[in-house]
Chain A
């Protein structure tokens, strides 16, 4: 039996909603995929695109940014800033060949433990289907990009 691929998903959870949702999921003993590594940030608007890129570069297979629903941000509009960044980042990641499922923005309020759990389950499944990202080794070629990657000939994609 081959071992199932377990993706590593870095989760940036906002302090006021999504981290509490994860907390609630825990105290409510909801079973969900253990693949997301939560990092608490004060607001989804605090998530610098550099954090996302660094996670992908350093070995994460996916990144989840989770915040309060629009209109419910503790800082009024931090999550709307996060959404603007996310939409632009998504456009850029598409150009860089990163599949859309790997970087997701979700909304989960403090009472939505079950919703956050479902979203983590769903994302884990989607990223598992994509397979490992392994950016440093597979895309750059290991060793901080010092090693040269020689590509196998590929058919022209149109």
Chain B
């Protein structure tokens, strides 16, 4: 029994969907249980941090870390699990590139607190109580983790061996990756090189999407609720922002096939550093406004009118990759021009 390799899974700033996606690999979960001993997995087994602390370094063979680094607890656990794990996998989009939590990098910590604890229609907090990292009560001092200004991906705080993208990763991809890891651990089969993005096809989502694709020439962009898409035609051609062309495949193009533009959760294609910038570039070049021969002012006006129909470009193009983007976060308080963050 004690010969079995050890598996751990932990969550940072995450929704819990990644844990569910692991449990959702159907009957294979029984094989996982057969092959591995669970060493730490707060979602399904009662382990405490002191158990992990008591392990020797490298005791855990595979650690699936999901969730972004939002606060000091996330970062502390990332360091601890890195030390205790032979193979650390950034599991899911949050750990890989920030995902939805990292969208708060478009604003400040103070504004985030204000939305969560202050001015929000569903809140009743007349005294403006916000969580503090330390508070003195009769029994002593209570502490909470520190909420960071900037959300980071796992690899921005510790070294990561593999990245498994997706929000959440698809079950067949999880199982395929686990099989590779198991073959490596039990039979000494070669593992992919460190730093690889695994569980992807390394071709765009468009390759997996059956929709009919023609030349793209878009005069107006629609948000999903504004249009009933044609079931056959490419969504982008219909003016729905679909990130498929800037997103790594592996999911089977699930979203576009049911009429929802690809959100981009599988991250950039190989060789691309900034998924949002690539998407921006692609979308802009298919804007169907502005022709050779127009006056400069007219040209700008026509293009601007189409661009204005794209709601929230940064939030759309960086929906999953804000923490991994080149600029990583917005400059807040930028209006004074001094760049004070």
Instruction: For the complex, give the distance between the alpha carbons of A146 and B313 in Å.
Output: 26
Q: Does B201 contact A (CB under 8 A)?
A: no
Q: Does A71 contact B (CB under 8 A)?
A: yes
Q: Does A115 contact B (CB under 8 A)?
A: no
Count of chain B residues with a beta carbon within 8 Å of a chain A beta carbon: 60
Instruction: For the complex, give the distance between the alpha carbons of A97 and B111 in Å.
Output: 15
Supposing A88-B310, A146-B157 touch, asked if A129 and B337 sit within 8 A by C-beta, the answer is yes
Closest residue of chain A to B322 (Cβ to Cβ) is A96
Q: Are B110 and A153 in contact (CB under 8 A)?
A: yes
Q: Does B108 contact A (CB under 8 A)?
A: yes
Supposing A85-B280, A92-B314, A157-B335 touch, asked if A57 and B108 sit within 8 A by C-beta, the answer is no
Q: Does A131 contact B (CB under 8 A)?
A: yes
Supposing A71-B293, A97-B331 touch, asked if A156 and B280 sit within 8 A by C-beta, the answer is no
Collect the chain B residues with CB atoms within 8 Å of residue A149's CB: 148-150, 341
Which residues of B, 100-137, contact A by the 8 Å Cβ criterion? 106, 108-111, 114
Closest residue of chain B to A88 (Cβ to Cβ) is B284
Expressed in whole angstroms, the minimum distance between the Cβ of A135 and any Cβ of chain B is 7
Binary per-residue interface labels of chain B (302-341) against chain A in the complex, 1 for a CB within 8 Å, 0 otherwise: 0110011010111101000000011111111111011111
Instruction: For the complex, give the distance between the alpha carbons of A49 and B279 in Å.
Output: 9
Collect the chain A residues with CB atoms within 8 Å of residue B281's CB: 48-50, 85
Q: Are B110 and A71 in contact (CB under 8 A)?
A: no
Q: Are A154 and B110 in contact (CB under 8 A)?
A: yes
Q: Does A99 contact B (CB under 8 A)?
A: yes
Expressed in whole angstroms, the minimum distance between the Cβ of A58 and any Cβ of chain B is 9
Instruction: For the complex, give the distance between the alpha carbons of A32 and B110 in Å.
Output: 43
Supposing A87-B300, A146-B157, A149-B149 touch, asked if A96 and B337 sit within 8 A by C-beta, the answer is no
Instruction: For the complex, give the distance between the alpha carbons of A49 and B273 in Å.
Output: 11
Q: Does A56 contact B (CB under 8 A)?
A: yes
The number of chain A residues touching the other chain, given as a range, is 35 or more
Q: Out of A50, A129, A139, which one reaches B329, CB within 8 Å?
A: A139
Q: Are B338 and A131 in contact (CB under 8 A)?
A: yes
Query: Which of A50, A53, A84 lies at the interface centre, i.e. has the most chain B CB atoms within 10 A of its CB?
Result: A84
Closest residue of chain B to A85 (Cβ to Cβ) is B284
Q: Are B149 and A54 in contact (CB under 8 A)?
A: no
Q: Does B278 contact A (CB under 8 A)?
A: yes
Expressed in whole angstroms, the minimum distance between the Cβ of B226 and any Cβ of chain A is 19
Instruction: For the complex, give the distance between the alpha carbons of A98 and B190 in Å.
Output: 46
Which residues of A, 83-128, contact B by the 8 Å Cβ criterion? 83-85, 87-89, 91-92, 95-99, 107
From A13-21, A33-41, A74-82, give the one contacting chain B.
Answer: A74-82
Collect the chain A residues with CB atoms within 8 Å of residue B148's CB: 148-150
Q: Please count the residue pairs between chain A and chain B whose beta carbons lie under 8 angstroms apart in the complex.
A: 171
Q: Are B280 and A89 in contact (CB under 8 A)?
A: yes
Q: Are A91 and B307 in contact (CB under 8 A)?
A: yes
Collect the chain B residues with CB atoms within 8 Å of residue A56's CB: 326-327
Q: Are A96 and B296 in contact (CB under 8 A)?
A: no
Q: Does B263 contact A (CB under 8 A)?
A: no
Q: Does A69 contact B (CB under 8 A)?
A: yes
Closest residue of chain A to B111 (Cβ to Cβ) is A156
Closest residue of chain A to B324 (Cβ to Cβ) is A145
Q: Are A145 and B328 in contact (CB under 8 A)?
A: yes
Which residues of A, 129-153, contact B by the 8 Å Cβ criterion? 129-135, 138-141, 144-146, 148-153
Binary per-residue interface labels of chain B (251-287) against chain A in the complex, 1 for a CB within 8 Å, 0 otherwise: 0000000000000000000001110111011011101
Q: Does A26 contact B (CB under 8 A)?
A: no
Q: Out of B110, B152, B317, B334, which one reaches A92, CB within 8 Å?
A: B317
Q: Does B156 contact A (CB under 8 A)?
A: yes
Closest residue of chain A to B331 (Cβ to Cβ) is A97
Instruction: For the complex, give the distance between the alpha carbons of A102 and B12 in Å.
Output: 36
Closest residue of chain A to B305 (Cβ to Cβ) is A87
Instruction: For the complex, give the distance between the alpha carbons of A141 and B280 in Å.
Output: 26
Q: Are B317 and A87 in contact (CB under 8 A)?
A: no
Q: Out of B299, B304, B332, B339, which one reaches A151, CB within 8 Å?
A: B332
Q: Does B294 contact A (CB under 8 A)?
A: yes
Collect the chain A residues with CB atoms within 8 Å of residue B186's CB: none
Q: Which 3 A-B pairs have the closest CB atoms?
A: A97-B331, A97-B334, A130-B337
A-B contact pairs, 18 of them (CB 8 A): A48-B278, A48-B281, A49-B278, A52-B277, A53-B274, A53-B327, A56-B326, A88-B307, A97-B331, A97-B333, A99-B334, A107-B296, A139-B327, A139-B331, A141-B149, A145-B152, A149-B341, A157-B333
